Amino acid sequence: MPININRYDEKITRRLFFSMVPVQILLVMCSGINIIIDSTFASNLIGPDAMAVTGLYGPFSKILDSLNVLMFSGAQILCGKYLGENMVKKARSIFSIDIFTVIVLGIIGTVLCLFFPAVPAMLSVKTSNPLYQDLIQYFRGIGGGILPFMLGTQFTSFLQLEKKEKIGYFSIAGMFVTNAVCDYLFIKVLNMGIFGLGLATAAGNWVSCIVPGIHFISKKASFRLITSDISSRDFREILKYGFPASLSQLMLAVRGMILNAIILNFVGNSGMSAFSAVGSFGYLYWAIPAGMTSALITLASIYTGEKDKSAIELLMRIYLRKAVPLVCLSSLILALLAVPLTNLYFHDPSSDVYRMALLGFIIFPLSSPGSSIIIGIRDLWRCMEHHIAVHVVNILDGLILVAGMSLLLVIPFGMTGLWIAQTASGILLVFIILIMTWIREKHFPNKISILCGYPKGFGVEDKDRLNLSIHNREEAINISEQVISFCREHGVDEHISMKSGLCVEELAVNIVEHGFSARSNSVVDISVTWTGEDLIIKFKDNCRSFNPEECDIMFNPEDPAHNIGIRIVKKLCKEMEYHSLLGLNVFSIKI
């Protein structure tokens, strides 16, 4: 069987990517499912006006999301880069800064909602509007859940880096059940109305915070709160990397205010109720592409830290060829479910609000495929630090195109025009992104490498990196000659070249013999990189977790002839490090 030379097998990356997607989708869906639960209880137990109130809460919710994203997105990228560079302690300090900052922001949000609810309420509705007082009560009810909502989001996002997704699933499921039970108890049994609606969501948020929080205060957690090595520079770096995603959320908040005003002025309260119903499912439409892109940026940030172009391009191929088609399929399924989704909220097919909502449930999901392409490319550009291009995409996507096209189409076509604007603006922006890439790279983006837009000096040339994928023992025992040949071509000392080849072969055979036995789909990716000064060898495998004690046995065996090549290289190398990354064993050697 031939070995994949200078191209990784996509098996590890594909499995990593899709193992991360479910919890990321659930994480994005948290707010959305809570809103769906609240909206269903509001519409059926309180009335249509309560349905509108949950929609009016949307802009403030987007502001909270923007602060949340500012921190965990920036921390996510930095942690990925530091883990890719084997700087685990530095990644822990980023985690600590993230959590401390979110606690402060959560306290401020709680105080604002509980004691000054008029401030966030004025973002969505005038004091003269009959819905104003109901919105005030909703803010007071949900206010106690602001801190745990923000903190729980951070905890759940970091659970993936520790491969503890099951804890995240339990916390999210507990949140949904708690919210639904409390909605029934507070509204139906205790007759607490809009206030009880918000209070139930707050109770669910506490469950989603406490469950993963217990893990992070335990000794088993890899990411723990520390006070050492925390610097203001790291905080600024988090803000720098998180700002593009936060700006996108802020644009969505502003867009929500503008769309609310457009609907109330040109359509009326019925349009607002229909928009709130479809918007409550907007998190579901958004969750799938957002979950995909969240997994994308986590892996892309790690590969960026490793300066591995091949891995980045492989990741983007998987995303565009496998993830985006899945988004298209899910959008079609949601569009086909338009009638039962509409019936969750409205029950008179002859009413205007039913008709407007039905069209929304049909048309709105079709915007998801375009969004998945836009966000995927934008987030990759964030890793490549194309800040201006990212800001342009955020402003166009989050505000200008959607709001502008909505205003243009809602006047002649009513709510139908607003639904069409969501999808049409996404298609237009995809073409704008391709043109932006063409201008920046001075070449039409007909290759993934051009679309990635690597900055000048990023990584090494393809000729300076040897990529190998090993699937069995036969392949493992035949790679030393390729490594030796690669080293000789780059002028590496003959002695070092020979021992490096022997080292790579012995380690590969060791991984196959001791790690592949229980899993027929195992693979080890090996990269050998010449930086011009150093030879860097990195192994990644998806076998059982490596026991550090085995390292001592490997390098200091009782039999002096055993693993002799590896032990000689240990004496030659500048650095040697092992760590577990997203469930992979990662072993790095610098010679």
- CB neighbour burial string for 9-48, b if at least 16 within 10 angstroms, e if fewer: bbebbbebbebbbebbbbbbbbbbbbbbbbbbbbbebbeb
Residue 457 inside a domain? The answer is no
b/e per residue, 491-501, with b = 16+ CB within 10 A? Answer: ebeeebbbbbb
Sign of CA dihedral 484, 486, 489, 492: negative
Looking at residue 351, its amino acid is S
DSSP 469-517: EE-SHHHHTT-HHHHHHHHHHTT--HHHHHHHHHHHHHHHHHHHHHHST
- Tell me which residue of 388, 419, 393 sits closest to 406, measured CA to CA: 419
Instruction: Compute the distance between CA of residue 75 and CA of residue 99 in angstroms, rounded to an integer.
Output: 10
Q: For residue 285, give the nearest of 55, 498, 37, 36 by alpha carbon.
A: 36
| Residue at token pair 């392949």 | 475
> 195 and 93, same structural domain?
yes
Distance in angstroms (rounded) separating the CA atoms of residues 141 and 143: 6
145 and 172 housed in the same domain: yes
Choose one of 407, 429, 450: the last residue of a domain.
Answer: 450
Residue 455 lies in a domain: no
Amino acid at 161: L
Please indicate, yes or no, whether residues 543 and 583 belong to a single structural domain of this protein.
yes
Residue 28 domain-assigned (yes or no)? yes
In whole angstroms, what is the distance from residue 351 CA to residue 309 CA? 56
* 458 in a structural domain: no
- Cα–Cα distance list, 350 to 43, 245, 277, 347, 356 (Å): 18, 41, 17, 9, 11
What pLDDT is stored for residue 246 in this prediction? 79
Element housing 529 (H / E): strand 524-530
> Phi and psi (nearest 5°) for 434?
-60, -40
Same domain, 431 and 492: no
pLDDT at 27: 66
Note the pLDDT of residue 303: 83
- What tokens does 302 get? 């790690």
Residue 203, in any domain of the structure: yes
| Separation of alpha carbons 213 and 190, rounded Å | 31
Domain that holds residue 276: 4-450
The pLDDT value recorded for residue 587 is 79
Q: Which ranges of 267-337 does DSSP label H, i.e. alpha helix?
A: 269-280, 282-305, 309-318, 324-336
Residues 391 and 503 in one domain: no
Q: Which residues contact 66 (CB under 8 A, 6 or more apart)?
A: 246, 247, 248, 249, 250, 252, 253
- State residue 437's pLDDT score: 93
Q: What is the largest CA-CA distance in the chain?
A: 86
Q: State residue 519's pLDDT score.
A: 55
Residues 143 and 266 in one domain: yes
Tell me, what amino acid is at 29? M
Residue 96 and residue 222 in one domain: yes
Domain co-membership, 368 together with 479: no
Contact 24, 488 (CB under 8 A): no
- pLDDT tens-digit profile, the chain (591 residues): 444 455 677 777 887 788 778 777 776 666 667 667 777 777 677 776 777 777 778 778 878 888 888 888 888 778 877 876 767 788 888 888 999 999 999 999 999 999 998 888 887 778 888 888 888 988 999 999 999 989 988 888 788 777 777 787 788 888 888 988 998 899 888 988 889 888 998 999 999 899 888 888 887 777 877 777 677 888 888 888 888 777 777 777 788 788 888 888 888 888 888 888 887 776 677 778 878 887 888 788 878 877 888 888 889 999 999 999 999 998 999 899 999 989 988 888 999 999 999 999 999 888 889 989 998 998 899 888 888 898 899 888 877 898 899 999 998 898 999 999 988 999 999 999 999 999 998 889 888 889 988 888 787 787 888 888 888 888 888 788 888 898 898 888 888 888 888 888 888 887 887 777 655 577 888 888 888 888 888 888 777 665 444 554 555 555 555 555 556 656 667 777 766 666 677 778 887
How many Å separate Cα 124 from the centre of its chain?
28
Instruction: Note whether 446 and 475 are same-domain residues.
Output: no
> Do 9 and 152 lie in a common domain?
yes
The count of structural domains within the chain is: 2
Q: Are residues 352 and 257 in the same domain?
A: yes
Residue finishing a domain among 399, 417, 450 = 450
CATH of the domain at 571: 3.30.565.10
Residues 490 and 396 in one domain: no
In a domain, 456, yes or no: no
Tokens of 586: 């990662």
Any domain includes 367: yes
Instruction: Please identify, among 450, 471, 493, the residue that sits at the C-terminal boundary of a domain.
Output: 450
Inter-axis angle of helices 88-115 and 232-266, nearest 10: 40
Rounded CA separation 403/44 (Å): 31
Q: Please report, to the nearest 10 degrees, the dihedral formed by the alpha carbons of residues 234, 236, 237, 241 taken in order.
A: 140
